[in-house]
Amino acid sequence: MVTSPRQQETKSTPAKATTNGRYAIGESAGCAVRAAPNVQRRARTYRVALLVNLARNAPPIHRDNAPPDLLVELDTDKNVESYAQALRQAGHEVLIQEGNAYLAPWLDEVRPDICFNTCEGFGGDSREAQVPALLEMVGARYTGPTPLAAAITHDKPTTKRILHYYGMPTPHFQVFNTPDDPLRRTLHFPLFVKPAHEGTGMGIHNESVVHNERQLRDRVAWTIEAYQQPALVETYIAGRDITCGLVGNGYDVHFFPITEVDFSGYPPELLPIYGSVQKVQLDHLYRNKCPAPLGEKLTREIRRLTHQTFLVTGCRDFARVDFRLDEHDRPFILEINALPGITPRSDLTLMAEAEGWTHGDLVRAVLDAGLKRYGM
């Protein structure tokens, strides 16, 4: 029986990570050093159900004022083929299936050994938890977060409450259910407004940075209306944009080199924030620094916070934690992506490639983490 990270919920601080992406042997019991992916291939092959949510299968949107980035979390056939190819290269039999309401009878028919879950869900405040919940219900094995971890991490305020409980640094915040909610005295302008539970920079633009009460009310009203959910208002952290990814479970994790977004390639009228326009339409202008020039101490600290966030939110197999550094290079955790993008162009892929992995290595490492967790 494999212990899930969720079962390890303690207030203890995870072991110190080294700057080379691995835990130093001897720094903490149970910390393992992960071998390079090409020498770690498993001999056994499995029947793998590749579960996907394709943008072309999204239910029609019947709203005139729907924002243009509403479907950016969903996948394309090309990306799905790249995951399938990576899994087939390891000798697995791959069966691709949409993660929708018809998934249960399909699983009953094909009986996969494990599911490789990439489903973002088509809607709802816990959309990333929907497929894991169904998989739990039918008793299927799967990669990625449980319904609980997926729901917690998909909702940024819920994640931040947990981080706050553990004394971890995250920007001060308030959830606005209406544009007229009174602003807490602890929040000072400039503030940052974003949807409470979205991803891929949805609802994040220049106007997310608000400098006065009027701008705040307007942006909160727009966010609630456009995304049909509460608005999360945070202290604006003016500084560097950092993300840190890992694969593995518990203390047996591998960190990828930390990435910093280089905003210098974008049009000057865009503020240095990593919203959906930068992530999707202007993807071709994206430049990063990987590994980010952080120095050894800050690199260790970012990795320690990444791992602690991974553990306290109950994530499994892989994750990516996003940070902003303030003007003194102090890190603030913005969120954890329990089901981070794993497309050939995603942040996680680019950071894996920066240390010589291929996209296929990354996909297989995630599956391997799941297989190992199940003792397969």
Ligand X SMILES: Nc1ncnc2c1ncn2[C@@H]1O[C@H](COP(=O)(O)OP(=O)(O)OP(=O)(O)O)[C@@H](O)[C@H]1O
Residue ranges binding Mg ion (CB under 5 A): 322
Output 52 or 334, the one with its CB closest to ligand X.
334
121 binds ligand X (CB under 6 A): no
Q: For residues 348 and 342, what is the distance between their CA atoms, to the nearest angstrom?
A: 6
Out of 103, 202, 311, 336, point to the residue binding ligand X (CB under 6 A): 202
Out of 155, 260, 317, 335, point to the residue binding ligand X (CB under 6 A): 335
145 binds ligand X (CB under 6 A): no
By the 8 A CB rule, do 243 and 318 touch? no
292 binds ligand X (CB under 6 A): no
Burial of 103 (0-12, 13-18, 19+ CB in 10 A): buried
**Minimum distance from residue 327 beta carbon to ligand X (Å):** 12
The radius of gyration computed from the CA coordinates of the chain, to the nearest angstrom, equals 20
266 binds ligand X (CB under 6 A): no
Q: For residues 48 and 96, what is the distance between their CA atoms, to the nearest angstrom?
A: 9
Q: Which does 292 bind (CB under 5 to 8 A by kind): Mg ion, ligand X, none?
A: none
Output 154 or 254, the one with its CB closest to ligand X.
154
Three-state SS annotation for the chain: CCCCHHHHCCCCCCCCECCCCCECCCCCCCCCCCCCHHHCCCCCCCEEEEEECEHHHCCCCCCCCCCCCCCCCCECHHHHHHHHHHHHHCCCEEEEEECCCCHHHHHHHHCCCEEEECCCCCCCCCHHHHHHHHHHHHCCCECCCCHHHHHHHHCHHHHHHHHHHCCCCCCCEEEECCCCCCCCCCCCCCEEEEECCCCCCCCCCHHHEECCHHHHHHHHHHHHHHHCCCEEEEECCCCCEEEEEEEEECCEEEECCCEEEEHHHCCCCCCCCCCHHHHHHCHHHCEEECCCCCCHHHHHHHHHHHHHHHHHCCCCEEEEEEEEECCCCCEEEEEEECCCCCCCCCHHHHHHHCCCCCHHHHHHHHHHHHHHHCCC
Output 273 or 312, the one with its CB closest to ligand X.
273
Output 251 or 256, the one with its CB closest to ligand X.
256
Q: Which does 176 bind (CB under 5 to 8 A by kind): ligand X, Mg ion, none?
A: none
310 binds ligand X (CB under 6 A): no
Output 179 or 272, the one with its CB closest to ligand X.
272
260 binds ligand X (CB under 6 A): no
Q: Site size for ligand X, by CB under 6 A?
A: 22
Choices 7-15, 43-51, 77-85, 229-237 (CB under 6 A): range interacting with ligand X = 229-237
Output 31 or 244, the one with its CB closest to Mg ion.
244
**Minimum distance from residue 301 beta carbon to ligand X (Å):** 18
Out of 80, 131, 152, 204, point to the residue binding ligand X (CB under 6 A): 204
Q: For residues 278 and 326, what is the distance between their CA atoms, to the nearest angstrom?
A: 21
**Minimum distance from residue 182 beta carbon to Mg ion (Å):** 28
Output 34 or 279, the one with its CB closest to ligand X.
279
Residue nearest to ligand X (CB): 199
Out of 83, 192, 222, 256, point to the residue binding ligand X (CB under 6 A): 192
318 binds ligand X (CB under 6 A): no
Out of 67, 201, 291, 314, point to the residue binding ligand X (CB under 6 A): 201
Output 322 or 368, the one with its CB closest to Mg ion.
322
Q: Which two tokens stand for residue 214?
A: 């009027």
Q: Which two tokens stand for residue 259?
A: 């990435």
Output 99 or 275, the one with its CB closest to ligand X.
275
**Minimum distance from residue 139 beta carbon to ligand X (Å):** 30
**Minimum distance from residue 187 beta carbon to ligand X (Å):** 11
* Binding interface with ligand X (CB under 6 A): 171, 192, 194, 198-202, 204, 234, 236-237, 241, 273-275, 279, 322, 324, 334-335, 337
